Amino acid sequence: MSWCYPTDDSIQISVTLAGTAFIGIGFGGSMYDADMVVGWVDASGKPVIGDYYSEEESKPKEDTVLGGTNDITPINGTLVGSLSTIVFSRKLFTGDKYDHLISLTQPMDMIYAWANADENGLVYHGDNHNHIFVDFSKSNGIPDNAFGEEESGKLSREIVKNSYYGTLSTIQSEAAGASNVYNFPFGSVADIADEEPSTGRPLLLLSELERNVINLQSVPACSLHFITGPETIYQFEHPEHYDVMTKPRTTLMGHLEVVPEEELEAAKATYLKKHPSSKAWINFSDFAMYRMVIEDVYVVGGFGNEHYIGWISPEQYLSIEL
């Protein structure tokens, strides 16, 4: 989503989502009392963009049907493959009771949804929906609050920096195990250390005999999953009440590269600060130091609508300074 201000009292918004039936955004954090803009590209290639309002978790109605006014000015719409784009403008404040004020002074809680179908229109979106906070006063829209830290990648970077280990997953490359399975995800715990100064690119010390290393020779793609460490359990009087599903976590996707010889001593020193016991085997001939190359990032900030859950571009993630 992107936006600009053609006049002092109006906003022009462009939204692109993978919806061939419709895409829509809502000013409001839920379907209850949501000021919505919904659009699609019809069979003739013409954009159809409307002003809607939702009172509950059901099909929204056009403002005009409810007695309000249509305050959306369609500008453009395209359908390229499975990606639809709608471009429209409206006043920041319309005066219609079914429209919310678009604030330029504080983050707005928003929802969005999309659906795919052979025929355009308001079909049920199913699980294709999410919510986000947007600061329309900033070019990137990321608000200066806890949600923004999650959306920007700062939370993910902090989790990686503070982690001692993660779950390294690869694709089983050959028939093995009791049932000779292959092409299944294979995960195991791996010690990690963030680089110094922090880059968010984990360092790993792995043996060539390690199952993941063997798998990577055939399929180089891998992921590393991190969750806030279990040491936080001991901050609670009753650790049995610790609910891991409510805690922040992040997954890095990419591939591993062997640390170049000229950077190896510095990498080993950084790694040993977190894992001093590894001194006993860090120089074994069958061990190598790897650095993860980040190709995508997923974060779960926590449980509930107050948290960001979604993807972060590797460029954004790597740009964070800690």
* In a shared domain, residues 78 and 32: yes
* In a shared domain, residues 102 and 167: no
Q: Kindly state the average pLDDT of the residues 131-143.
A: 93
Q: Considering Cα of 174, then 177, then 179, then 184, what sign does the dihedral take?
A: negative
Structure tokens at 152: 């920007």
* In a shared domain, residues 129 and 158: no
Number of domains in the chain: 2
Cα(2)–Cα(289) distance, integer angstroms: 41
Beta bridge partners of 216: none
Taking alpha carbons only, the member of 205, 212, 204, 216 closest to residue 284 is 205
- Domain annotation covers residue 187: yes
pLDDT at 285: 95
- Domain annotation covers residue 243: yes
- Domain annotation covers residue 299: yes
Cα(266)–Cα(258) distance, integer angstroms: 14
* In a shared domain, residues 104 and 188: no
* In a shared domain, residues 272 and 126: no
- Domain annotation covers residue 82: yes
CA 241 to chain centre: 28
Q: Kindly state the average pLDDT of the residues 76-83.
A: 92
Cα(25)–Cα(296) distance, integer angstroms: 25
Domain boundary among 98, 114, 144: 144
Instruction: Find the CATH number of the domain harbouring 52.
Output: 2.60.40.1210
* In a shared domain, residues 137 and 159: no
Beta bridge partners of 88: 13, 74
Cut 0.85: pTM above it: no
Residue 236 has pLDDT above 60, yes or no: no
Taking alpha carbons only, the member of 53, 63, 57 closest to residue 27 is 53
* In a shared domain, residues 130 and 191: no
Residue 234 has pLDDT above 70, yes or no: no
Cα(23)–Cα(25) distance, integer angstroms: 7
Model confidence band, residue 237 (pLDDT cutoffs 50, 70, 90): low
Domain boundary among 119, 144, 169: 144
pLDDT at 115: 93
* In a shared domain, residues 124 and 207: no
Contact 90, 42 (CB under 8 A): no
Contact 68, 140 (CB under 8 A): no
pLDDT tens digits, 51-63:
999 999 899 999 9
Question: Domain containing 165: what range?
Answer: 154-319
Domain boundary among 94, 112, 144: 144
Q: Is 26 exposed, middle or buried (0-12, 13-18, 19+ CB in 10 A)?
A: buried
* In a shared domain, residues 229 and 311: yes
CA 242 to chain centre: 25
Q: Kindly state the average pLDDT of the residues 167-196.
A: 88
Instruction: Find the CATH number of the domain harbouring 300.
Output: 2.30.110.10
* In a shared domain, residues 126 and 204: no
pLDDT tens digits, 251-306:
999 999 999 999 999 999 999 999 999 999 999 999 999 999 999 999 999 887 78
* In a shared domain, residues 97 and 12: yes
- Domain annotation covers residue 149: no
* In a shared domain, residues 116 and 257: no
